[in-house]
């Protein structure tokens, strides 16, 4: 009975830790907002230089901001999904064949090493000016961390587990589905956490470089027209989108991989 209580306590520990972490996060955000507002009020900072949270909330063009956020969220989600899927598939391919590893991995490193600004003309020709190009940029930024982390996870399987599959004469497909991929899941989730905010940054950068109707474009246009509260509203909302995506990944990790979560 004591063993069962201990196991149940360990199962609840990640959930309790996650709840406390969320409360701490909310408290920190509220403290930052209060200090921000007090600071600009005491210093008498102009709204055109650095508006406070109250000025952003009351003076920003939230209709335009929310409309732009919808475009950014869609591109971010698609880029996040496609980039991670490509990274996962390439990682499996690379670890499954030495020949494919020698061919695919250097090409992946080369593609990821090219600056996004240099790729802008090709992206415009291939996808046009719009959400498709932004999605492609997010996917390019996201896939490499997933590729590296999943390769590490697939190659970190204990030798005893691999030897056991050979003893029972299991196929390579069985070895990947039942041994390698489950062992690589924690590394894959870690890659998702890294790529979540990167996907938002990639989309906003693309919207600024190749054009679009998302938050990246809105932030630049608002800055040029001195609509500073609207600009800051776009910046803050992009941070919220990144935080929500990261939180969704963390929640999925606690629900599906509670056995791998460390408190």
Q: What is the pLDDT of residues 8-60, one digit of tens each?
A: 444 455 555 556 776 887 888 888 889 988 988 888 888 888 888 898 999 98
**Domain locations along the chain:** 1-36, 68-260
Question: pTM for the whole thing?
Answer: 0.79
78 vs 123, residue with greater confidence: 78
Enter the tokens of residue 246. 């990261």
- DSSP assignment of the chain, as one string? -HHHHHHHHHHHHHHHHHHHHHHHHHHHHHHHHHHHHHHHHHHT--TTT---HHHHHHHS-HHHHHHHHHHHHHHHHHHHHHHHHHHHHHHHHHHH-HHHHHHHHHHHHHHHHS-HHHHHHHHHHHH-SSHHHHHHHHHHHHHHHHHHHHHHHHTTS-HHHHHHHHHTT--HHHHIIIIIHHHHHHHHHHHHHHHHHHHHHHHHHHHHHT--SSHHHHHHHHHHTT-HHHHHHHHHHHHHHHHHHHHHHHHHHHHH-GGG---
Identify which of 49, 41, 84 has the alpha carbon closest to the alpha carbon of residue 249. Answer: 84
Query: What's the pLDDT at 140?
Result: 87
User: Does domain 68-260 sit in CATH 1.10.3720.10?
Assistant: yes
What confidence tier does 237 reach under pLDDT thresholds 50, 70, 90?
very high
pLDDT at residue 186 tops 90: no
pLDDT digits (tens, 9 = 90+) for 157-179: 887 877 888 878 777 778 887 88
Give the separation between CA 216 and CA 185, rounded to whole angstroms.
Answer: 32
In the block, which residue shows the tokens 């499996």?
92
What confidence tier does 7 reach under pLDDT thresholds 50, 70, 90?
very low
The overall average pLDDT reported for the chain is 82
pLDDT digits (tens, 9 = 90+) for 138-151: 888 888 888 888 88
Query: What's the pLDDT at 1?
Result: 41
């Amino acid at each position: 009975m004591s063993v069962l209580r201990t196991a149940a306590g360990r199962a609840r520990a990640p959930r309790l830790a996650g709840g406390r972490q969320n409360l701490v996060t909310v408290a920190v955000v509220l403290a930052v907002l209060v200090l921000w507002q007090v600071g600009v009020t005491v210093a008498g900072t102009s709204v055109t230089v650095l508006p406070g949270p109250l000025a952003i909330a009351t003076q920003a063009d939230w209709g335009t901001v929310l409309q732009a956020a919808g475009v950014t969220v869609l591109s971010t989600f698609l880029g996040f999904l496609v980039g991670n899927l490509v990274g996962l598939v390439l990682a499996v391919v690379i670890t499954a064949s030495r020949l494919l590893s020698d061919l695919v991995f250097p090409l992946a490193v080369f593609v990821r090493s090219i600056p996004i600004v240099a790729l802008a003309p090709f992206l415009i020709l291939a996808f046009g000016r719009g959400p498709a190009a932004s999605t492609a940029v997010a996917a390019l930024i996201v896939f490499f961390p997933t590729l590296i982390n999943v390769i590490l996870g697939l190659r970190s399987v204990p030798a005893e587990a691999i030897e056991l599959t050979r003893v029972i004469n299991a196929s390579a497909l069985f070895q990947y589905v039942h041994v390698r991929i489950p062992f690589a899941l924690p590394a894959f989730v870690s890659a998702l956490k890294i790529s979540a905010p990167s996907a938002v940054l990639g989309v906003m950068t693309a919207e600024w470089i190749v054009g679009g109707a998302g938050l990246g474009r809105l932030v630049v246009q608002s800055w040029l027209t001195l609509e500073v509260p609207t600009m800051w509203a776009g910046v803050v909302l992009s941070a919220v989108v990144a935080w929500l995506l990261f939180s969704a990944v963390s929640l999925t990790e606690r629900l599906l991989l509670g056995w791998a979560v460390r408190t």
